[in-house]
Amino acid sequence: MTTMKTVFGPPGLELMLAGALFMVLAACTKKELPPPPKAEIIPKDVSVHADQRIDNYYWLRERDNPKVIDYLNAENTYTEAVMQDTKSLQTKLYDEMVSRIKETDLDVPVRRGEYFYYSRTEEGKQYSIYCRKHGSLEADEEIILDQNQLAAGKKFFQLGVLKTSPNHKLLAYSADTTGSETYTIHVKNLETGEWLSDEIPNTYYAVEWANDNATLFYNTLDEARRPFKLFKHKLGARASDDELVHFEEDDAYFLSVSKTKDRRYLLLELGSNTTSEVWYLNADTPDAKFKVIHPRQHKMEYAVEHHDAKFLIMTNDDAINFKLMQVSVEHPTKKNWQERIPHRQSVKLDGIDPFKNHLVVYEREKGLERINIIDIQSGEEHLVDFDEAAYAIKSTSNPEFDSELVRFKYSSLVTPETVYDYNMVSRNKELKKRKEVLGGYDLEAYQIERLFATSTDGTEIPISLVYKKGLKKNGNNPFWLYGYGSYGATIEPGFSSTRLSMLNRGFVFAIAHIRGGGSLGRPWYEDGKLFNKRNTFTDFIACAEYIISEKWTNSQKLVTSGGSAGGLLMGAVLNMRPDLFAAAVAKVPFVDVLNTMLDASIPLTVIEYEEWGNPNEKDYYEYMKSYSPYDNVEAKAYPNMLITAGLNDPRVQYWEPAKWTAKLRATRTGQNTLILKTNMGAGHRGSSGRYDYLKEIAFDYAFMLKMLHIRS
């Protein structure tokens, strides 16, 4: 589916911080600790808009400085000491979570040509095993890739792509072993089981086969970890000899490559946060040249699919919620585009999935997704029916172009992930699999509600929540409020079996669908970015105030969490209204907004200008400074806080949460808990193994429970 003047503080300040930390550690662990390391700092003077800011903790950026690693390890030691009394609770939570999952399980097989492909898991093993069967589901199983073997002896292992060749004889996969999201491509002969000599380092998330079964296209990263080059690789050749197909010079653009649903065309996709450009190449002729469909046009986005000698083009050109156009492959320039699905003010077009005789359209209205089926010959349309008031739909693999079945995943806050095959002709929906929740889970024991809070400007903000039936609105319930609110991303009200551990302890869980996300269409996103970013924070505060006023909870029982850009949300909201919350969990939080956005050498910075603004422009600088969490830490009583980081994180560098923690520790008032937990062997997403990941969740839950004095 297509879809300032900165003065970096004197060396003595970090010594004070390190010394204070070691004193806390000594008091907590009752052990003699070595004296704090002495760091050598070279002050820097950078002038932007004649504004002077003092950054006392800039030294924590020195990744290769052993004193920085010592500091992070010391914070981890302190965190372990603070959480020592929750060890048994963490074990209990972890055991609960494991007990709910079917450890030995398999996905619903997907047919591609003569093969059925699927993945499965085995009890006690961290990673999935990828398999296939030839001809029928009764055939013998063939293991094409066992991640557990590849990950043996490694602290981290993450697959990037997994692509079989068109003739099903070869497998290209990429892997990251550090969490840095830098992948190496390998190729396996599926007929012999042998590994080819082909090995391509420094790649990203895009790999595609040409139809000759001998040519691979892939993207590589620049020093800022931006995918910027497209290469063509012939099997058997050295990676150093691969042909450069395209080089994207603009730092604001990412480069990717994909294939149309019918596998006829390769698509070279170039995009910033607001602008896109697509080139195409017949997949049968990989040595020909890519051709552009429409040159980039500022703030115009479009995505391309192919059907019956026509390109289908989803675009926001004069259509904020997107529309669908079509054009002949022979003359694809924009002047020839014809409207297929018009723009609608109340419905956002999220994506399309073309089949031979049908077009599947994923749409969103009033915050909820829906699936619209269009008969290509007759033009007749119908919607797939769903019963629950709030739910989540996820498109899944539908590789067969000539099929009457479309497969999708469905879940809600109480309904586990369910795979359906929907017959677009008979309109029958067949349940293929519902993920089992072991231990006697009864979805009827839980209740979903959808509420609306009023923000400061009168905007109604949706809230999706779930709780165990029997709960009383007495203002005294433990309540967990989650939010994100950036990039137009919609946090869907989907199911989580791990979350049951909190619901069963009396928690209400809620998602605040704040502006900056995509819940209510593209305007909802636009109204929470750039100079509208503060709406995201005031929306979230309004949601917290509303649930307290409606007696769902009180400020001493309200915990909150968010990660990455949702960590920015946490930081901004806690600076504005720390009194609303008893505790907060900020996962890999983007909090050092000005310093990061002023440093173009940091991964992803330049492309982010269209999300946050360019602080080299004074108006943006001043607006970003008004909410940047790190720059607005004050001497006030902050709630209990757990902050996490990943040493190899390329999206939010580890020093952002580390610096924020340091500044909070030195500036805040009161004695509430403040801990930093840095994963020293992973990146943005935390641990890669499924059991290790559950241990991280158990730790987070134990922190929330401890802060609310819930001990079991």
684 included as an active-site residue: yes
Q: What is the mean pLDDT of the chain?
A: 92
SS3 96: helix
Burial class (CB in 10 A: 0-12, 13-18, 19+), 599: middle
**Tens digit of each residue's pLDDT (9 = 90 or more) over 554-595:** 999 999 999 999 999 999 999 999 999 999 999 999 999 999
Contact 470, 503 (CB under 8 A): no
119 included as an active-site residue: no
Q: How far apart are CA 100 and CA 437, in angstroms?
A: 5
Query: 307 — alpha (psi -120 to 50), left (phi > 0) or beta?
Result: beta
User: Can you give the CATH number for the domain in which 208 is found?
Assistant: 2.130.10.120
Contact 13, 37 (CB under 8 A): no
Task: Give yes or no: residues 559 and 634 share one domain.
Answer: yes
Task: Give yes or no: residues 518 and 642 share one domain.
Answer: yes
Residues ≥6 apart with Cβ < 8 Å to 2 = 303, 304, 305, 314, 351, 352
In a domain, 329, yes or no: no
11 or 249, which is more confident? 249
The yes-or-no verdict on residue 24 having pLDDT over 90 is no
3-state SS, 367-393, equals: CEEEEEEEECCCCCEEECCCCCCCCEE
In a domain, 350, yes or no: no
3-state SS, 261-285, equals: CCCCEEEEEEECCCCEEEEEEECCC
Tokens of 144: 């094409």
Contact 712, 121 (CB under 8 A): no
Q: What are the Cα distances from residue 33, in Å, to 75, 370, 535, 676? A: 13, 59, 46, 19
**Helices marked H in 290-345 — which ranges?**
none
Backbone torsions φ then ψ of 46, nearest 5 degrees: -120, 125
Tokens of 325: 């156009």
Task: Give yes or no: residues 74 and 174 share one domain.
Answer: no
Longest alpha-carbon distance in the chain = 80
Q: How far apart are CA 351 and CA 369, in angstroms?
A: 11
In a domain, 117, yes or no: no
Look-up of token digits 């956005």: 597
Task: Give yes or no: residues 603 and 465 share one domain.
Answer: yes
Q: How far apart are CA 350 and CA 519, in angstroms?
A: 11
The residue-averaged pLDDT of 365-370 equals: 90
* pLDDT of amino acid 394: 92
Task: Give yes or no: residues 693 and 579 share one domain.
Answer: yes
Backbone torsions φ then ψ of 215, nearest 5 degrees: -125, 130
Q: Number of folded domains in the chain?
A: 2
Backbone torsions φ then ψ of 633, nearest 5 degrees: -65, 130
In a domain, 485, yes or no: yes
Task: Give yes or no: residues 609 and 700 share one domain.
Answer: yes
**Tens digit of each residue's pLDDT (9 = 90 or more) over 500-526:** 999 999 999 999 999 999 999 999 999
Tokens of 25: 């550690």
Number of separate helices (H) and strands (E) present in the chain: 13, 39
Pick from 247, 263, 292: which residue ends a domain? Answer: 292
Contact 333, 345 (CB under 8 A): no
Pick from 292, 314, 348: which residue ends a domain? Answer: 292
What is the reported pTM?
Answer: 0.90
In a domain, 406, yes or no: no
In a domain, 399, yes or no: no
Burial class (CB in 10 A: 0-12, 13-18, 19+), 557: buried
Contact 598, 620 (CB under 8 A): no
Q: How far apart are CA 483 and CA 490, in angstroms?
A: 10
List, in sequence order, every residue forming a beta bridge with 304; answer none if it has no partner: 313
Q: Which amino acid is at 631?
A: D
DSSP state of 636: S
Catalytic residue among 527, 592, 649, 700: 649
Residues ≥6 apart with Cβ < 8 Å to 515 = 455, 459, 461, 485, 524, 525, 527, 528, 532, 535, 536, 539
User: Can you give the CATH number for the domain in which 653 is found?
Assistant: 3.40.50.1820
* pLDDT of amino acid 14: 39
The pLDDT-based confidence of 298 (bands split at 50, 70, 90) is: very high
Burial class (CB in 10 A: 0-12, 13-18, 19+), 333: exposed
Contact 631, 625 (CB under 8 A): yes
* pLDDT of amino acid 2: 61
In a domain, 1, yes or no: no
Q: How far apart are CA 477 and CA 548, in angstroms?
A: 10
In a domain, 568, yes or no: yes
Query: Beta strands 479-482 and 508-512: pairing type?
Result: parallel
Full residue range of the structural domain in which residue 249 is found: 154-292
Percent of the chain scoring above 90 in pLDDT: 86
The yes-or-no verdict on residue 71 having pLDDT over 60 is yes
Q: How far apart are CA 416 and CA 274, in angstroms?
A: 35
Contact 7, 43 (CB under 8 A): yes
Task: Give yes or no: residues 527 and 671 share one domain.
Answer: yes
The yes-or-no verdict on residue 434 having pLDDT over 50 is yes
The yes-or-no verdict on residue 302 having pLDDT over 70 is yes
Task: Give yes or no: residues 506 and 596 share one domain.
Answer: yes
Closest CA to 614 of 283, 274, 306: 274
SS3 581: coil
**Residue 15 CB: number of other CB atoms within 10 A?**
16
Look-up of token digits 């709780």: 467
**Tens digit of each residue's pLDDT (9 = 90 or more) over 376-429:** 999 999 999 998 878 999 999 899 999 999 999 999 999 999 999 999 999 999
Pick from 229, 260, 292: which residue ends a domain? Answer: 292
Task: Give yes or no: residues 87 and 217 share one domain.
Answer: no
Residues ≥6 apart with Cβ < 8 Å to 659 = 55, 57, 58, 60, 592, 630
* pLDDT of amino acid 606: 87
**Tens digit of each residue's pLDDT (9 = 90 or more) over 261-295:** 999 999 999 999 999 999 999 999 999 999 999 99
SS3 196: strand
SS3 438: coil
Residues ≥6 apart with Cβ < 8 Å to 254 = 226, 227, 228, 248, 270, 271, 272, 607
The yes-or-no verdict on residue 16 having pLDDT over 60 is no
List, in sequence order, every residue forming a beta bridge with 106; answer none if it has no partner: 120
Q: Which amino acid is at 519?
A: S
Contact 288, 281 (CB under 8 A): yes
* pLDDT of amino acid 682: 75
Angle between helices 87-100 and 690-707 (to 10 degrees): 130
The sign one gets for the Cα dihedral 83, 87, 92, 96 is positive
Q: How far apart are CA 458 and CA 520, in angstroms?
A: 16
Percent of the chain scoring above 70 in pLDDT: 93
Catalytic residue among 168, 294, 343, 684: 684
Task: Give yes or no: residues 572 and 681 share one domain.
Answer: yes
**Helices marked H in 590-689 — which ranges?**
593-597, 609-612, 618-627, 655-667
* pLDDT of amino acid 46: 53
Task: Give yes or no: residues 82 and 182 share one domain.
Answer: no
Compute the residue count for the chain: 712
The yes-or-no verdict on residue 3 having pLDDT over 70 is no
307 included as an active-site residue: no
Catalytic residue among 165, 564, 687, 688: 564
Look-up of token digits 């307290």: 548
H-helix or E-strand spanning residue 435: none
Task: Give yes or no: residues 186 and 88 share one domain.
Answer: no
**Tens digit of each residue's pLDDT (9 = 90 or more) over 206-241:** 999 999 999 999 999 998 889 999 999 999 999 999
SS3 554: coil
